[in-house]
A and B are shown apart, each in its own frame.
Chain A
Amino acid sequence: MPGRQLIMSFPVTATSHTLAEYRARGGYQALEKALKTMRPSDVVKEVTASGLQGRGGAAFSVGRKWQVVVYDDGQPHYLIANADEGEPGTFKDRWILEQNPHALIESMLIASYALNVRNCFVYIRGEFDLPYERLAAAVEEAYAAGYFGERILGTDFSCDIVVYRGAGAYVAGEASGLIASLEGKKSYPRNRPPRLTVKGLYQRPTVVNNVESLSNVAWIIAHGAAAFKEVGTPKSPGTRLFSVSGHVNRPGVYEVELGYPWMKFLEEDCGGIVGGRAIKCVVPGGVSSKVLTGAEIRDLDLSHEALWDVGSTLGSGGMIVIAEGTCMVTLAQILMRFYHHESCGQCTPCRHGTGWMHRIMDRIVAGQGRPEDIERLYYISKFNDGTTICGLGDAAGYAVSGILDKFRDEFEYFIEHKRSRCDGNLECLRSS
């Protein structure tokens, strides 16, 4: 096991996601502790002191986000769990929703208490079937047990929850796009300021946190910020859920203590690379994070600071492992098709830039690439950087320039010879 476990710390069985078993594991004691022994401001202080960073991609301090909300400013506040998991390569929140939904629900109750929230929401991606069913069932269980509704556990705290299903838009995973979607509109992101914690859902202060970020809160309240900081590294406390896919023998979701050696994790926990091949590169945290080559990750630890040092990020924890022999040009083509498809069309650089890059990639893969295409891809990605309302435009540029920086020779070969230097395949058949 790659270090200590906080969220995946129990054996998964056919019933381990139920309220009865969650309570048998000590569940909902943190809620009781918070409501009966802590003031709301104590909860915010504890979460801030834990150093918990957001697990959705930006790794921003959860406590600092919460601190922006003024507890008694006389207006309604909202809390939203972002379960619109859609970054390619990412499927870790799905694990929490399917296997440990009460950890999310208990944490949301504690957060709602801390932030003076009467109504909280889970925005879950529209396609998810089992995660939605499990979460909806867990919410019903929690209502029946008196954890939601009026005067929870005999205190003055009251709270309700709505599970809201998306409808298939990647950009709804961006917090302000998510809010627009939850208001029943197309999920166009909007400019900040004002921050969402000042003006969010229906213009009210709103905290949007990733599912995994929130799910750590119950553990932090139960065991204390100091205990949380003992796990992980000083700059990256706690654990992260990595969803590992691609050319590994044992893909899946793993909880890794931050600071754990990367190669050891891939070799021992993920069963190594398919067919015993070498690692060509790894997408560390969703396709919007820059790829790192096998040589670059050899001595790296899995922590935020280690990845920032090499110009990448742990992002959303969606790790895609790519074996030697895989065609990076074809892979870049898929990425550009994806960003083009998912661009919401609001900002010109992204709407046109993603389409332009997609057409260039299609042309190169069709054997009609031109020598100037590489510089043009760089030009477009640079033009997208920082010129759009949300990060999707930037990310599309980073994705292509990240691959170009490291595998430019493959693009040059493809353009010159009108075919891939590898066999053009992305598939790598499993040895087992």
Chain B
Amino acid sequence: MRHLIPEFERLRSRFPAGFESSLVLPCVRRIQEDRGYVSDEDIAELAKYLGVPQIQIEEVLSFYTMFRRKPIGRWHLQFCHNVSCSMNGAERILAHVEKKLGIRPGETTPDGRFTLSVAECLGSCGTAPMMMVNEGYHENLTVAKIDELLAGLK
């Protein structure tokens, strides 16, 4: 993470003095964007840089669903399967993707191209069903729309 320190310094300057602990979430997020996951080394270095206990960073990593300790596929597909999405066909669309990719939620395709996940309400209920592809929202999904989208993700 050392090469990110100039960025972290800029981030720190936007917070009031004494808010180092608050930087844990944004720094972890940036490390993950950079490496794809957060390694043991990152945890040790970040703890030292911010002056917070390592256990705090470990807790944050295990508590929040968006953080991960291991690499995943290039394209992370996260399907919402909460109430409104289910009422608009989320299960049917998810079943189609499972069949097409040959994997179940929580798994990655052998070529490392896709990781499939399910998520609880992502705040897209009016444009259900929806999924996230990495950081981006894709809404009002249909089987045809998904087929087209997946073909474009190499």
Q: Point out residues on A near B: beta carbons under 8 Å.
A: 76, 85-91, 94, 118-119, 125-130, 160, 162, 164-170, 181-187, 202, 243-247, 251-253, 283, 287, 318, 320, 322, 326, 330-331, 334-335, 338, 341-342, 344, 426-429
Contacts and interface: CB of A to CB of B under 8 A. Distances in A.
Interface stretch (B2-10, B86-94, B104-112, B143-151): B86-94
Interface in B67-120: 67, 81-84, 86-89, 91-92, 119-120
Given A119-B16, A320-B83, A167 B123 contact: no
B137 A183 contact: no
B66 A91 contact: no
Given A88-B120, A334-B82, A253 B56 contact: no
A171 B89 CA distance: 27
B86 A426 contact: yes
B41 interface: no
B132 interface: yes
B18 interface: yes
Interface of B: 14-16, 18-19, 21-26, 28-29, 52, 56, 59-60, 63-67, 81-84, 86-89, 91-92, 119-128, 132, 135-137
B83 A331 contact: yes
B82 A88 contact: yes
A76 B17 CA distance: 12
13 contacts: A90-B125, A127-B123, A166-B64, A184-B21, A186-B60, A244-B126, A245-B87, A245-B126, A334-B83, A426-B87, A427-B86, A427-B91, A428-B87
A2 B91 CA distance: 34
Nearest to B82: A88
B120 A338 contact: yes
A87 B121 contact: yes
Greatest chain A CB density within 10 A among B19, B59, B67, B91 is at B19
Contacts of B52: 184
Contacts of A246: 83-84, 87-88, 125
A182 B23 CA distance: 9
A341 B88 contact: no
A185 B66 contact: no
Contacts of A90: 121, 123, 125
A185 B52 CA distance: 10
Contacts of A128: 123
B28 to A, nearest CB: 8
B39 to A, nearest CB: 17
B14 A127 contact: no
B96 to A, nearest CB: 13
Contacts of A330: 86
Contacts of A119: 15-16
